[in-house]
């Protein structure tokens, strides 16, 4: 397995030159686009990894599957899906036009920005600080068990959060439109503050792979403790399969056949049912906001190990 990951990482380095970092968030423009890493976590919490897997980065939209999982567990399906749909859009992740033109009267799914802002407003807690704390605690619980006893620090990159807040004009527009539709719970600015901070959570690819394993084993942690209900894990994976790579979800589904969620920080979290949690890191992005190297590595890994779920 180690030789396979080493080979895939080496092969993927060429893709780093074919993308660019997410410079529209100034703090992300500083990331080295040449970084590439790939990690795999098994049922026992063991991680096999290669490349830049221990370099923390802001997980950005990967956080959407984590906040969704926590809200589904704490508030239930009705609280979420009465406000957010479950359909793919084919639009960019930060599109606003569907909010006004859709017959749904709500965001199409929880993995685009509009849907994720709604979900952020539903996190446990009365303030942005309390909601973020509940999400951080959830993430810590999900990655605590590792075969080497290593527990990665789970924190918010305050520079990235401030950068997102200062430049997040479109997301603020989306937030206020959602409020007009009656979909955001509580104060809009509190919901947006939570959203900007959750996107700035810093993790590395090794930790993301352990998060992926939670979904791969339907909500069960290494050692057998259940973190999520089977129903929640399967709902989230289904949305990852259909919506997880924005308007590139269909292509990735056809080529890799894995539920996955990407973020413009360069990370991708994926789950191979009953086998592995997977994560890749490569800050150079394609035009859809997905890691060029990450998509290539996960697609190749799926083919090599026959991880297709379809």
Active site (annotated) includes residue 220: no
CATH superfamily of 2-305: DD-peptidase/beta-lactamase superfamily (3.40.710.10)
Q: Which of 246, 261, 262, 280 is catalytic?
A: 246
Q: Which of 50, 61, 249, 280 is catalytic?
A: 61
276: number of CA atoms within 13 Å, CB side? 23
Active site (annotated) includes residue 24: no
What does each of the 310 residues of the chain score in pLDDT, given as a tens digit? 999 999 999 999 988 778 899 888 888 888 999 999 999 999 998 999 999 999 999 999 999 999 999 999 999 999 999 999 998 876 666 666 667 767 778 898 999 999 999 999 999 999 999 999 999 999 999 997 555 545 567 999 999 999 989 988 989 999 999 998 999 988 999 999 999 999 999 999 999 999 999 999 999 998 899 999 999 999 999 999 999 998 899 999 999 999 999 999 999 999 999 999 999 999 999 999 999 999 999 999 999 999 987 6
Q: How many residues does the chain have?
A: 310
| Predicted TM-score (pTM) of this structure | 0.94
Residue labelled with tokens 């923390």 = 56
Active site (annotated) includes residue 64: yes
Query: Facing residues of 48 across strands?
Result: 40
Q: Which of 119, 195, 291, 295 is catalytic?
A: 195
What are the structural domain ranges in the chain? 2-305
Active site (annotated) includes residue 61: yes
According to the 3-state scheme, what is the secondary structure of 132-178? HHHHHHHHHHHHCCCCCCCCCCCEECHHHHHHHHHHCHHHHHHHHHH
């Amino acid at each position: 397995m180690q030789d396979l990951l080493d080979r895939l990482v080496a092969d993927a380095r060429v893709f780093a030159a074919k993308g660019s970092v997410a410079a529209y968030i100034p703090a992300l423009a500083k990331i080295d686009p040449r970084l590439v890493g790939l990690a795999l976590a098994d049922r026992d919490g063991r991680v096999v990894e290669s490349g830049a897997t221990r370099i923390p980065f802001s997980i950005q939209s990967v956080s959407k599957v984590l906040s969704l999982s926590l809200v589904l567990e704490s508030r239930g399906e009705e609280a979420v899906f009465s406000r957010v749909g479950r359909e793919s859009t084919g639009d960019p992740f930060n599109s606003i036009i569907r909010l006004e033109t859709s017959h749904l009267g709500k965001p199409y799914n929880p993995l685009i920005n509009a849907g994720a802002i709604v979900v952020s407003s539903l996190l446990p807690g009365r303030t942005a600080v309390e909601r973020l704390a509940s999400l951080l605690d959830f993430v810590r619980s999900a990655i605590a068990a590792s075969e080497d006893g290593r527990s990665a620090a789970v924190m918010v990159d305050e520079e990235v959060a401030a950068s997102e807040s200062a430049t997040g004009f479109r997301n603020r527009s989306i937030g206020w439109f959602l409020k007009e539709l009656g979909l955001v719970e509580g104060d809009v600015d509190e919901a947006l503050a939570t959203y900007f901070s959750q996107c700035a959570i810093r993790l590395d690819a090794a930790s993301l792979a352990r998060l992926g394993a939670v979904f791969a084993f339907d909500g069960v942690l290494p050692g057998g403790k259940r973190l999520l209900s089977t129903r929640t894990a399967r709902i989230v994976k289904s949305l990852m399969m259909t919506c997880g790579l924005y308007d590139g979800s269909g292509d990735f589904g056809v080529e890799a056949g894995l539920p996955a969620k990407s973020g413009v920080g360069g990370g991708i979290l994926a789950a191979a049912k009953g086998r592995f949690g997977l994560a890749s890191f490569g800050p150079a992005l394609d035009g859809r906001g997905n890691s060029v190297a990450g998509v290539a590595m996960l697609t190749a890994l799926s083919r090599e190990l026959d991880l297709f779920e379809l």
